[in-house]
Chain A
Amino acid sequence: MALDCLFTPLQVGPVEIRNRIFSTGHQTVLVNDGAPNEALIAYQEARARGGAGLVIIEVAAVHETAFFSSHTIKGYLDDCIPGYRRLAEAVHGHGCKVFGQLFHPGREVYGGRPDGTRAIAWAPSAVPAERYGLMAKPLPLGLVEDLIESYGDTAVRMQKAGLDGVEVVASHGYLPAQFLNPRVNSRDDRYGGSFDNRLRFMHDVAANIRAKVGDAMAVGLRISGDDMEHDGIEPAETLAAIEALAGDGVFDYYNVIAGSSATHGGAVHIVPSMRIETGYMAPFAATVKAAIDKPATRRPIFVAGRINQPQIAETIVASGQADMCGMTRAMICDPEMAGKAEAGRLDDIRACIACNQACIGHMQIDAPISCIQHPETGRETAFGARTLAPAPKTVMVVGGGPSGMKAAAVAAERGHKVTLYERGTQLGGQVLLAQLLPGRAEFGGIVTNFLGEMARAGATVEIGVEVDAPMIRHAAPDAVVIATGATPRWPAIEGVGDAHVVDAWQVLRNEANVGGSVVIADWLGDWIGLGLAEQLALDGHRVRYATTQRMAGEGIQSYIRDQTIAELTKLGVEMTSYARLFGVDADTAYFMQTTSGEPIVMADTETVVLALGHERHGGLEDALADYDGKVHVIGDCVTPRTVEEAVLEGLEAGSLI
């Protein structure tokens, strides 16, 4: 597939961008002191070097009232300028452009202040924010006027630092969107009431910025096409706003996205999961493009939302739906995606699977951005460039799950002679199971990606070969990597002999006949229990899901969880939390409430499905206890965790050998 349109330059205001691929503004949790730092620069430079046309740097607070989290850039202080300057220089060094985001969250205050107290949630009116449980404080008119000035002042700081453009964040229910939304803005001054009044804030912000930065800088607007929530902004409202703003002619581009921070439902679209179809916001972008397609108002349209492959981006640009494609997670997962696409190496791209675990998932546990498939992300300063090994060694990798595959690929890239052995008939380990669950097929992309990486690096793969200790002693490789994974955990359960009890893997592999009324006993609160519940409910079973966690899916990233819970609710799955399995009999599963100790009895149970975690598959490691060669043990056979740790340890082992 030729990607002619994707690699055509685009003029955005005064800025020419070399191609149509950009990274949207996103929180990295790399910033600690309110200003861009070396970690953030290394992160963004990796994307610029990899061929992105434009990187838009994460939000900068325009005012001291714009508190979002302790990792937010303080754009309202001059202290941010030197960091931005170094960042701009690094990105420009690779021919990439860089914009900054101008931000005020309004009532959507994400985190606590550094001392643990809650900041004031300033907003147009006293309407509470549902997801964060915050009551908003109405902005006095004088403060509104100050904020408008602060947008322009912050843009000036970015201009001084050498950024190519600024983007006003009016998406996802943040402050400018709160002004626009008549269900959130009930002001009776000139910033509330009529459509013109509700749009006045964005209008004034745009004018203030332009007056201060002149025409030498691109000024854009990010806005949600559809908040996708009960009282959010609807597509028609967004469209009307863009048409009106286009009449002013101040903005150089419009960047459209879906979703809102305000509710669990809307927030799913902030970082849409693999359940949501690729490129799903392109049709709305096309509507916007058509609406302003007159000589005086025509402006480039940027779009984002599950554009995970360059072929999809090419289609969006070629069909005229949008001019620039936001491919943020695609470049979190593969910073060289753009360069590979331009060189026609489409199969070499490590495609993002939208699992959300280590990108937005890390942000929500206050850890720096990374990627389960590419742990180098966010660790650029430690794992920036692969170094060749001083002398090639023979390396034996045992186990072809994600961990073993990553170790094999990295070791081979460093010049070692690597052979990976997998006892099964297919590579992939537990990924082969994960991809079988409803809405999780894309998870299997991990296998495809690592197979390609191993092949390009020249690692040899032996399928259907189980390695034992004598084989290793005989082959005497320079290094052994043990990545033998895990098996389902079957703890002792009272009465198990009288009941039909199966484990998650048996169900996923279609090795068990599950009765009509099923109870799933879940321990981790991760995708296994939720996925089984969905699959069995779709198959027509009555499904009860009981987890030891405080809520269904507590172990997975919130957008994935909340969307999956929605599906389970529609399917009528009954969910119980704080429940520990302790016994079964022919037709009942017995749980104990984990804090009160009271019984929870689930009668009329035909089958109990265990999703109680895994045990390490450690036979080979144990058999090599007295082996004196070099052995690296990685992933779930160290101790079962998630694919993220498995791949990270593969990277570490591959880098150490």
Chain B
Amino acid sequence: MALDHLFSPLQVGPVEIRNRIFSTAHMTVLARDRKPTDELVAYHETRARGGAGLVIVESASVHWTGNPILIKLYDDDCIPGYARIAGAVHSHGCKMFIQMGHQGRENIGSEDGALPVAYAPSVAPNERFHVMPRALSREMIADIVGAYGAAATRVRETGADGIELSASQGYLLSQFLNPRVNSRDDDYGGSLENRLRIHREIIAAVRGSVGRYLVVGMRISGDELEHDGLTPGESLDAAMLLDGDGGLDYFNVITGSSTGLAGSVHIVPPMNIEAGYGAPYAAAIREKVSIPIFVAGRINQPQVAESIVATGQADMCGMTRAMICDPDMANKAREGRFDDVRACIACNQACIGHMWQGFPVSCIQNPVTGRETQYGVIEPAVRSRQVMVAGGGPGGMQAAAVAAQRGHHVTLYEKEPRLGGQALLAQMLPGRAEFGGIITNFTREMELAGVEVVRGVEVTAALIAEAAPDAIIVATGASVRRPPIEGAEEAHVVDAWQVIRDQVNTGQRVVIADWRCDWVGMGLAEKLARDGCAVTLAVNGNMAGQSLQQYVRDRWVGELHKLGVKIITYARLGAVDANTVYFEHTTSGQPILCDGVDTLVTALGHEPVTSLEQELAGYTGEIHLIGDCLSPRTAEEAVLEGFRAALEI
């Protein structure tokens, strides 16, 4: 497939961008003390080096009424750090914009545990964070508008090429535009002209500072997809008016809203939302305005992006997670090396998932992300060694690929006929097929690095003695955990893996006992409900999907609700008999009975497969234990440990 459109330059205001691929503004948790850091510079430089046309640096606060944690664009101290990003990014031919944000009622940033005062157009509460905002006075509005102008002057000093004004996803400017959120009775509320007044004042203030020397664009939601969010018609009307004013150089169209559990799913859409789904929203606006249209939303592959640009739905494609996962994606695409692209699977675990836990951005498939200053350059091995990897799950595959890239002779053994480990199971659940992309990606990386793969052979001490490797990586993974359950012999009890592999017939009325509260229990519930079973999901935690990233979880809980799955929380599996499952409430200790049950499905976690480790107890050679056979956790830790082991050899 030729990607002629994707790699044609685009003029945006005064700036020519070399191709149509950009990284949208996204929180990295790499800034410190409200300033860019070396880590943030390295992170963006890596994407620029990899061929991105443009990076938009994460949302910064323009005023003290905004989020008190984000980069402080109302203080000159941020300028040197931004300037270093600009210098680094420009040296690779890539452009750089800075996003200016104000969260309005979505502000939950706290320095010391006490909640901030959130300022918004009107006293209308936010549902997701349960924030009741304070209404902005006219004086504060004027002050905020002025702050945008002052911040724009700083951006100009950094050497950045442009400014993006965040007006999307229920943040401050969206709150002003939204008549269900803005109930002001002054000239900032009421008519569309009034609700759009602050946008125009801000654009004028920013232009007053930067003239036409810098790009000025605006991010908007084509549809906020929330019960009281902006509708496509409202967004379009606003876009047409602003376009007519001539103050903006582009619109960046996304969907969703921060304000509710439904809309927020679209901030970082999970894998059960189709690729490129945001394009029609962009196209609807592009038809009616004169300036270039950027778009984002599950554009995970260059082919998808090419088709969006070629069909005229949008001019630039936001491929943020695609480059979190593979920073070299753009260069590989340009060179036609599509099969070498490590495609993002939209699992959300280590990118937005880390952000919500306060940790730096990373990627379960690419542990270098967020760790560029530490692992940015992978040094070749001093001398080439014979490396044996036991186990072809994600951890073993990553270890094998990286060790081989460093010049070692690597052989990976997988006892099953197929590579992939637990990813083979994960991909079989409804809406999770893309998870199997991990296997495709790592298989290709091993192939490119020259790893020899042996399938259907289990590594034993005898094999090791025969092969006599210089180093062994044990990545034998985990098996399903089946603790003894009282009464199990009288009942039909099966485990999660058996169900996923279609090795068992479940009855019509099913109870799932879920300990980890992750994708296994949720996925089984959906699969079985779709198969027509009456399903009860009994989770050990406070909520179903507690261990999952919230956008993945919340959307999935909605799906399970539609399917009629009954959810029970705080439930510890106690016993089972022919037709009843007995749980114990984890804090009250009271029994929870599920009657009329045909089958109990256990999703009680995993146990490490330690047979090889034990067999090697007296072995004196070099051994590295990685992933679930060390201790069952997630694919993220398995891949990271595989990567680190490969660097140590």
Contacts and interface: CB of A to CB of B under 8 A. Distances in A.
Given A549-B130, A566-B585, 15 more contacts: A117-B633, A117-B640, A128-B515, A134-B633, A137-B630, A137-B631, A264-B542, A367-B110, A375-B114, A489-B125, A563-B587, A565-B588, A613-B130, A614-B132, A648-B114
A99 B359 CA distance: 32
Interface string B498-525: 0000000000000000011110000000
A368 B112 contact: yes
A366 B358 contact: yes
Nearest to B120: A639
Given A365-B113, A597-B262, A616 B123 contact: yes
Interface string A104-126: 00000000101111101110001
B588 A569 contact: yes
A133 B561 contact: no
Contacts of A112: 357, 359
A108 B117 CA distance: 35
Interface string B553-595: 1110111011000000110100000000000111111100000
A567 interface: yes
Interface in B400-442: none
A358 B569 contact: no
A114 B359 CA distance: 7
A641 interface: yes
A365 B357 CA distance: 9
Interface stretch (B143-151, B325-333, B600-608): B600-608
Interface string A348-375: 0000000000100110011110100001
A378 B113 CA distance: 11
B113 A362 contact: yes
B631 A593 contact: no
B161 interface: no
B256 interface: no
A32 to B, nearest CB: 11
B636 A117 contact: yes
B165 to A, nearest CB: 25
A598 interface: yes
B284 interface: no
Given A523-B130, A645-B115, A121 B547 contact: no
Interface in A123-156: 126, 128, 130, 133-137
Contacts of A563: 587
Contact of B540 (A122, A130, A358, A598): A130
B114 A115 contact: no
A614 B134 CA distance: 12
12 contacts: A112-B359, A115-B371, A116-B359, A130-B586, A133-B547, A525-B130, A562-B586, A565-B570, A565-B587, A594-B261, A641-B115, A644-B114
A551 B543 contact: yes
B86 interface: no
Main secondary structure of the interface of B (DSSP, over half): loop
Contacts of A525: 130
Interface string B119-137: 0000101010010111000
B634 interface: yes
Interface residues of B, number: 73
Given A596-B561, A615-B123, A551 B569 contact: yes
B130 A367 contact: no
A192 B139 CA distance: 70
A524 B131 CA distance: 9
Contacts of B371: 115
Contact of B562 (A265, A551, A594, A596): A596
Interface in B372-396: none
Contacts of B201: none
A555 interface: yes
A120 B588 contact: no
A491 to B, nearest CB: 8
Interface in B609-649: 630-634, 636-637, 640
B40 interface: no
B551 to A, nearest CB: 10
B134 A358 contact: no
A335 B553 CA distance: 42
Contacts of B359: 112, 114-116
A265 B589 contact: yes
A141 to B, nearest CB: 11
A368 B127 contact: no
Nearest to A593: B561
Contacts of B554: 550, 578, 594-595
A249 B585 CA distance: 41
Nearest to B556: A595
B645 to A, nearest CB: 14
A121 B515 CA distance: 16
A616 B570 contact: no
Interface in B200-256: 227
Nearest to B137: A625
Smallest CB-CB A-B distances: 9 pairs: A367-B113, A116-B359, A595-B558, A596-B558, A566-B588, A639-B134, A137-B631, A566-B587, A362-B113
Contacts of B516: 133
Main secondary structure of the interface of A (DSSP, over half): loop
A459 interface: no
Interface in A547-584: 548-551, 554-555, 558, 561-563, 565-567, 569-570, 577-578, 580
A396 interface: no
B113 A370 contact: yes
A469 interface: no
Contacts of A638: 117, 134
Contact of A523 (B125, B557, B605): B125
Nearest to A486: B132
A426 interface: no
Contacts of A44: none
A366 B359 CA distance: 11
Given A112-B357, A116-B350, A358-B113, A230 B134 contact: no
B360 interface: yes
A569 B570 contact: yes
Contact of A370 (B114, B132, B265): B114
A268 interface: yes
Interface in B88-116: 110-115
A455 B487 CA distance: 65
Interface in A520-555: 523-525, 548-551, 554-555
Given A130-B572, A367-B112, A562 B631 contact: no
A379 interface: yes
A124 to B, nearest CB: 14
Contacts of B354: 116
B362 interface: yes
Nearest to A136: B631
Nearest to B364: A117
B450 interface: no
Contacts of B587: 264-265, 268, 562-563, 565-566, 569
A616 B553 CA distance: 33
Contact of A121 (B132, B360, B370, B631): B631
B260 interface: yes
B243 to A, nearest CB: 32
B60 interface: no
A274 interface: no
A347 B484 CA distance: 56
Interface in A64-120: 112, 114-118, 120
B115 A128 contact: no
A263 interface: yes
A265 B586 CA distance: 6
Given A578-B261, A596-B558, A641-B132, A567 B358 contact: no
A364 to B, nearest CB: 10
A8 interface: no
A512 interface: no
B127 A594 contact: yes
A620 interface: no
A558 B541 CA distance: 12
A41 B173 CA distance: 44
